[in-house]
């Protein structure tokens, strides 16, 4: 493309972007903290051509900036501008992969661990609180991220009626935060699964001396029977083609009088893949389930005793994580590049905007196999 043609296309793309952003109250080179500052006109064409993938990559490359990135995404997503650029070239590979293949099949189970969770425990230790919980906290009576995570873990234990000596399966247990809490505070005998080598190594250290068996193992390989099962923030890596199999395994491993608590990010619509930028840079082979998809997966296997949505709390959680990481970045920047920092900031702030706009949710679902005799007593505080 010659210089004259490039200038014409850039001008068209800029006018298109200005009209679109105006619908959300966002100005190009405006003075509000949510207004976008464009440093290179190439950003317009990249977004027009590749949608969210182009938006994210052009930010990573420093082609544009926003003072309050979380507010930018909140306004953008509240106005549903993402729906105005639904079809673009960046979506095609991810759509084909999710529709015609099974990117979360057993042979690919460890990819998410290698690509996301194994990038460095130092990064996550700086970002998270001392409990090392990498999922939404429960902020109802909390003032700090640590208080919110402790409240979330205690809420889970109370919801499943966890008692001393009971066996507990923790699917996708991360760095052992919940396993440690359940064993130490409630006296549970925990088996914790993760597909991340670095998570497993640190979880073993953090749970040393407790009745916790940390395993580097896919959920499809677990045996035995358990009084209680929890899955906190891991269903997002299972994939729609595997939801039913996942629930069948959980039902098989849960004792007949047991309870299964599932905490997951939830989608307002039934999708078959994830955002192209997120899939490429943050969570490969992942997707967010909908109520319909979960309902179909548990049909004739579980009874939904309780369904609790506190998605607004994820906004606070993400902002707390960003604050922690921003404060610690000087000690990390020698290891992680500036482009990585911009990528990670974009990830945290775009997610915060998504939850703030209520475009995605956070659900805690309590499941039983045959129903709680007399009815389940709801606990939500």
Q: What is the pLDDT of residue 4?
A: 45
Of 157, 231, 351, 380, the catalytic one is 351
H helix or E strand, kind and range, residue 169 = strand 167-171
Lookup: tokens for 154? 């205690």
The vertex-351 CA angle with 347 and 355, nearest 5°, equals 175
CA distance 33 to 67: 5
Query: Dihedrals φ, ψ of 37, to 5°?
Result: -105, 115
Find out whether 349 and 55 touch, Cβ atoms under 8 Å: no
The pLDDT tens digits along the chain (381 residues) read 445 445 666 778 888 889 999 999 999 999 999 999 999 999 998 998 888 999 999 999 999 999 999 999 999 999 998 877 655 444 545 554 555 555 555 546 678 888 999 999 999 999 999 999 999 999 999 999 999 999 999 999 999 999 999 999 999 999 999 999 999 999 999 999 999 999 999 999 999 999 999 999 999 999 999 999 999 999 999 999 999 999 999 999 999 999 999 999 999 999 888 899 999 999 998 999 999 999 999 999 999 999 999 999 999 999 999 999 999 999 999 999 999 999 999 999 999 999 999 999 999 999 999 999 999 999 887
Query: Which DSSP state fits 45?
Result: H
The pTM assigned to this predicted structure is: 0.93
Known catalytic membership, residue 136: no
Q: What is the pLDDT of residue 285?
A: 87
CA distance 66 to 71: 9
Torsion of CA 192, 194, 198, 201, to 10 degrees: 20
Find out whether 180 and 205 touch, Cβ atoms under 8 Å: no
Largest CA distance in the chain: 75
Q: Where are the domains of the chain?
A: 3-87, 105-368
CA distance 214 to 191: 6
Torsion of CA 206, 287, 76, 117, to 10 degrees: 30
Find out whether 368 and 277 touch, Cβ atoms under 8 Å: no
- 105-368 placed in CATH 3.40.50.150: yes
Q: What is the pLDDT of residue 179?
A: 98
Q: What are the strands of the beta sheet with 189-194, ordered from one edge?
A: 212-216, 189-194, 167-171, 226-232, 254-267, 360-368, 303-309
CA distance 176 to 167: 16
């Amino acid at each position: 493309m010659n210089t004259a043609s490039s200038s014409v296309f850039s001008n068209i793309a800029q006018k298109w972007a200005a009209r679109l952003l105006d619908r959300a109250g966002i100005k190009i080179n405006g003075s509000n903290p949510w207004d976008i500052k464009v440093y290179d006109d190439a950003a317009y064409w990249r977004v027009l051509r590749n949608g969210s993938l182009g938006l994210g990559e052009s930010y990573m490359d420093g082609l544009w900036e926003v003072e309050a990135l979380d507010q930018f995404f909140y306004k953008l997503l509240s106005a549903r501008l993402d729906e105005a650029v639904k079809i673009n070239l960046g979506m095609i590979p991810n759509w084909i992969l999710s529709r015609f293949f099974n990117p979360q099949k057993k042979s690919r189970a460890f990819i998410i661990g290698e690509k996301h969770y194994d990038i460095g425990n130092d990064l996550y230790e700086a970002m998270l609180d001392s409990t090392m919980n990498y999922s939404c906290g429960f902020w109802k009576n909390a003032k700090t991220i640590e208080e919110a995570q402790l409240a979330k873990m205690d809420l889970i234990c109370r919801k499943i009626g966890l008692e001393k000596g009971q066996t507990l399966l923790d699917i996708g247990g991360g760095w052992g935060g919940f396993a440690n809490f359940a064993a130490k505070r409630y006296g549970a005998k925990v088996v914790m699964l993760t597909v991340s080598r670095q998570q497993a190594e640190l979880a073993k250290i953090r749970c040393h001396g407790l009745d916790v068996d940390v395993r580097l193992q896919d959920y499809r390989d677990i045996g035995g029977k358990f009084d209680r099962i929890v899955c906190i923030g891991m269903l997002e890596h299972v994939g729609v083609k595997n939801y039913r199999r996942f629930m069948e395994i959980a039902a098989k491993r849960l004792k007949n009088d047991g309870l299964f608590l599932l905490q997951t990010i939830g989608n307002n619509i039934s999708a078959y893949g994830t955002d192209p930028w997120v899939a490429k840079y943050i969570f490969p082979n992942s997707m967010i389930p909908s109520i319909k998809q979960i309902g179909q997966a548990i049909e004739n296997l579980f009874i939904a005793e309780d369904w609790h949505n506190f998605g607004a709390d994820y906004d606070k959680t993400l902002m707390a994580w960003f604050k922690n990481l921003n404060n610690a970045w000087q000690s990390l920047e020698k290891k992680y590049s500036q482009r990585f920092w911009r990528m990670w900031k974009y990830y945290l702030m775009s997610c915060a905007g998504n939850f703030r706009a209520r475009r995605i949710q956070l659900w805690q679902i309590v499941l039983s196999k045959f129903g709680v005799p007399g009815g389940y007593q709801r606990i939500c505080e």
